Amino acid sequence: MTDIMQVEGLCIAFGGLKAVDGVSFTAERNKITTVIGPNGAGKSTAVAVLLGLLAPDQGQVTLEPDDAAPVRLADISLSGWWAQISWVPQRPVAEPGTVRDRADPAGRASEAELARVARLTGLDEIVAGLPDGWETQLGQGGSGFSLGQRQRLALTRALLEDRPLVVLDEPTAHLDAAAESQVLAVVDDLRRAGRTVLLVAHRPALLAVADDVVHVTAAQLTAQPSAQLSGAGDRSAAEGVDEGADKGVDEAVTR
C-alpha cells in the first residue's frame, strides 16, 4: 500500500504549450490534496500522469509504500497500480448490471455497510424509488440513471472499494447545494478512513476541505504572433489535451 506520492517538477508539452507546467506536490494518507486551475490548465492531464497513462516530458512521480523502498511510478506495473485506485470522473459510466453489482463489484460489503455508505452518498434515496431496489438493472454506461445519480453510484463504489488512493474529478460539478454537502461528507469520510484523496475542484466548498492545494497552470513554450496563437487558442489546445486525458483515465481505470 502506498503511503505517500511525491510529484516533482511535472511538465507535459503539447504543440506550443506546456499542458502541465512544473507541478510539484506531496499527497499523503489521511489528507485531501486538491488540484485547482482554470479550464484547460492541465488538471486532467496531470491526473493522467499520476495514474500512469501519460509519461511526463519532465519530472517524475515517486511512490513511497509503507513497507518497502520508494519506487518510481514509471517502473511499476500499471495493473497493480490501478488496483490501488478508486476513480470518480466528472461523468461516470458503468458496465451493465444491477445497482448492487455496480456499487459493490467485489460483493464484499455487508447489507449494513452498503446501507451506511448509501445513506452517506444519497444513493439510498435513489434506490428506494427504483422498481427493484438494489436489484434494478442498469444498461451500458449506466443508462437508466441520470448523471447526478451515476455520480452518487460512483461515490458509493469509491467508499466501498477500500482502495488506498481515491481520485475525484469535480465530483460536485453536476450537483445542487444539498447534494454538494453530501459529497463533502463523503470526502471527509474517505480522509478519516485513512485514504489518500486527490480532488480536482473549482467550487469554494471543496477547496475548504483541502489539507493541501495544488495550482496547475499551462504555459506557452514558444513566442508566436498573436494572430497565430491567441490566448483563446492557448486555452483551446490545452483543453483538448485535458479532455483527451480525462477520457483515457476513465476508460483505463474505471472498471
Domain extents for the chain?
Answer: 2-94+165-253
Q: For 2-94+165-253, give the CATH class.
A: alpha beta
Q: Is 48's pLDDT higher than 80?
A: yes
- Distance between CA 68 and CA 212 in Å, rounded? 25
The one-character DSSP state at 1 is: -
With contact defined as beta carbons under 8 Å apart, do 209 and 188 qualify?
Answer: yes
Rg of the chain in Å (alpha carbons): 19
pLDDT, one tens digit per residue, over 50-106 is: 988 888 999 999 999 888 899 999 999 999 999 999 999 888 888 899 999 999 999
Q: Tell me which amino acid residue 155 is.
A: L
Q: For the residues 231-238, what does the mean pLDDT come to?
A: 37
Going by their DSSP bridges, the two strands 31-36 and 212-215 should be labelled as: parallel
Q: Are 64 and 70 in contact (CB under 8 A)?
A: yes
> 250 pLDDT band (50/70/90 cuts)?
low
Res 224: pLDDT: 36
Put simply, whether the predicted model's pTM sits higher than 0.85 gets the answer no
